[in-house]
Amino acid sequence: QAQLVESGGGQVQPGGSLRLTCTASGGSLNYYAMAWFRQAPEKEREFVAAIGINGRSSYIGEPVRDRFTISRDKTKDAVYLQMNLLKPEDTAMYYCAGRETYYSPNADLYNFWGQGTQVTVSS
């Protein structure tokens, strides 16, 4: 089973952009539906975006639908979350997760998770 590794987090000013990357060590992402979730301090974990195994279908959570996109590159065995027009309320730890069948906004259905990457949006 792949171990997921997130990268690309950091601090950015409101209105800025970041691209998060999810890769795997000891395995491959290419056989899994993948998703991004986030969790801010003292808040519930929140679905952000998901993408199917073939990369042709995806689903973006309503709070970020007009600003974030998810994609994957099977040649690089990676999944990306492009975040634009970032707002302070986007501040959270962002996690990627995978599962063997179709994607879902339900975090409980995902079999494996990364350790997370922190995104902080502040001026």
**pLDDT tens for residues 75-117?**
999 999 999 999 999 999 999 999 999 999 999 999 999 999 9
Categorize the per-residue pLDDT at 119 as very low, low, confident or very high, splitting at 50, 70 and 90.
Answer: very high
SS3 readout for the chain: CCEEEEECCEEECCCCCEEEEEEEECCCCCCCEEEEEEECCCCCCEEEEEECCCCCCEEECHHHCCCEEEEEECCCCEEEEEECCCCHHHCEEEEEEEECCCCCCCHHHCCEECCCEEEEECC
